[in-house]
Amino acid sequence: MTTMQRQRDGSEETFDSRDPATDDVVGTYPVHTTEDVAESVERARRAADWWSALGYQQRAERLRLWKGIVTRRLDQLCEIVHAETGKPHSDAQLEITLAIEHLAWAAKNAKKILGAHRRPAGNLMANQAASVEHHPLGVVGVIGPWNYPVYTPLGSITYALAAGNAVVFKPSEFTPGVGKWLVDTFAEAVPEYPVLQLVTGYGDTGAALTRSGVDKIAFTGSTETGKKIMATAAENLTPVVIEAGGKDAMLVDADADLEAAADATVWGACSNAGQTCIGVERVYVHERVYDDFVSRVVDKSNGVRGGSDSDAEYGPMTMRSQLDVIRGHISDALARGGRAVVGGRDAVQEREVQPTVLVDVPEDSAAVQEETFGPTVTIARVPDMDEGVRRANNSRYGLGSTVFAKRRGMELARRLRTGQTAINAPLSFAGIASLPFGGVGDSGFGRIHGPEGLREFSRPKAIARQRFPMPVALTSFARSEKTDTLLAKFITILHGNR
């Protein structure tokens, strides 16, 4: 939750971040204005020159230093994540652990991926040495969400930093304390220049950053905001990477390990109170194992509870307004012939939502088509996996997906129109730092993580260096008729055969 105070005396406007379990104020932060953002970007320009000149080795050392600080103070960061989002300490730890893996990978691999590589010069230009290397963009603006306030923005920040950019980071208004902690600890490892800076505030501050002339915007958040960001970024032709919402599907084939698939469904749907962009929201199950699968999911869901006490498997909804969306999706599904085999309308409480499993829900209903972002899941029976693939792909989103199958796992995974697919384990791709992560359709475009994530925050620079002059000059007015004839013969020998 957040609240804003407007100051009448002209002093700085501020807002509070609040504990979603109690509404207690966790911290008070400035609402940064367009001028504040412009000053940060200006400072970042100088920092970027210094950081990029340090070179891969020294940058990697600094990033390793930061990694050590984050790791040693993991408990401290978990507490802030817990206070601002309501998620249990152990979930915060899992999220931060994955982020540390990515930080380590980006620091270690930046030089190998982005440094100079030789390319074949080809027959026509055999006298040239061709190479490509990736240069930093300059200043990257990162705009983050609240649901994974460490893992998600660091997926852009650490890769942008490892590629040699300075970063101005606008965390969600729900999690400014997490953002501040990350920026402060980075400054301990890199005290010389403000290579990673924080700006705080609401959407207007994010819009100011998008408009500020940064060299790229890395946005993670809802599809709706992603569209606004693209429109704003277009004013300056600022490139963007958009990591937006999802409506991830799981396929369960007849030969799947049903116990593992049921476990993955319940955890994938309910962990972090379902507030996971790659959470499992829809499941398509082969009719031969449907009843068995549903009864396992029901059993497991009954052992899971949302609450603010230490025994609860997940916490309250971070953003109170999401309660209405979830209630709306459940009510609509039930009104249109769906059945709740676990939970239902009453599962939506004052702060928490209890696990809800819906069956027989029409495919065109909101619970199947729109991002619910709550601990709910729909399960549908399909006659075969081809129908499962068709229904899974019938979505405007395409972020992640999961397949539980023995024989056809790889084949089904390839046919799903999503950026990433996990086979026989939930969300596993998110923990593999060498894999790219990103969406299709309304889930966005561009990639963070892995080599693709490093390249996303750099520009390729191609260099052709002449090693010796050609006996016949092609790129000169001195080119003769004889050269043209020779060239025509040469190209015919090379490419003229059918």
Interface with ligand NAD by CB under 6 A: which residues?
Answer: 143-148, 152, 170, 172-173, 202-203, 206-207, 210, 220-222, 225, 228-229, 243-246, 277, 371, 373, 399, 439, 444
Which residues lie below 8 Å from residue 414, measured CB to CB, with a gap of 6+? Answer: none
Q: Which is nearer to ligand NAD, 275 or 301 (CB)?
A: 275
Q: For residues 40 and 63, what is the distance between their CA atoms, to the nearest angstrom?
A: 21
Query: Cβ atoms within 10 A of the Cβ of 199, count?
Result: 28
Q: In angstroms, give the least distance from the CB of 435 to ligand NAD.
A: 13
Phi, psi for residue 25 in degrees, rounded to 5: -70, 125
Q: Which is nearer to ligand NAD, 436 or 444 (CB)?
A: 444
Residue with smallest beta-carbon separation from ligand NAD: 206
Q: Which is nearer to ligand NAD, 228 or 396 (CB)?
A: 228
| Environment class of 249 (CB within 10 Å of its CB; exposed 0-12, middle 13-18, buried 19+) | buried
Residues with catalytic function: 243, 277
What are the b/e assignments for 204-235, b being 16+ CB within 10 Å? ebbbbbbbbbbbbbbbbbbbebbebbbebbee
Q: Which is nearer to ligand NAD, 220 or 401 (CB)?
A: 220
Q: Which is nearer to ligand NAD, 31 or 189 (CB)?
A: 31
Q: In angstroms, give the least distance from the CB of 207 to ligand NAD.
A: 4
Which residues lie below 8 Å from residue 272, measured CB to CB, with a gap of 6+? Answer: 87, 91, 147, 148, 279, 314, 315
Tokens 């009864």, residue located: 295
Q: For residues 276 and 347, what is the distance between their CA atoms, to the nearest angstrom?
A: 19
| Ordered alpha helix ranges (H), 73-150 | 74-85, 89-114
Q: In angstroms, give the least distance from the CB of 203 to ligand NAD.
A: 3
Q: Which is nearer to ligand NAD, 15 or 293 (CB)?
A: 15
Q: In angstroms, give the least distance from the CB of 221 to ligand NAD.
A: 3
Q: For residues 333 and 326, what is the distance between their CA atoms, to the nearest angstrom?
A: 11
Q: In angstroms, give the least distance from the CB of 181 to ligand NAD.
A: 16
Query: Do residues 160 and 33 touch, judged by C-beta distance below 8 A?
Result: no
What number of CA atoms fall less than 13 Å from residue 273's CA on the CB side?
Answer: 32
Q: In angstroms, give the least distance from the CB of 194 to ligand NAD.
A: 20
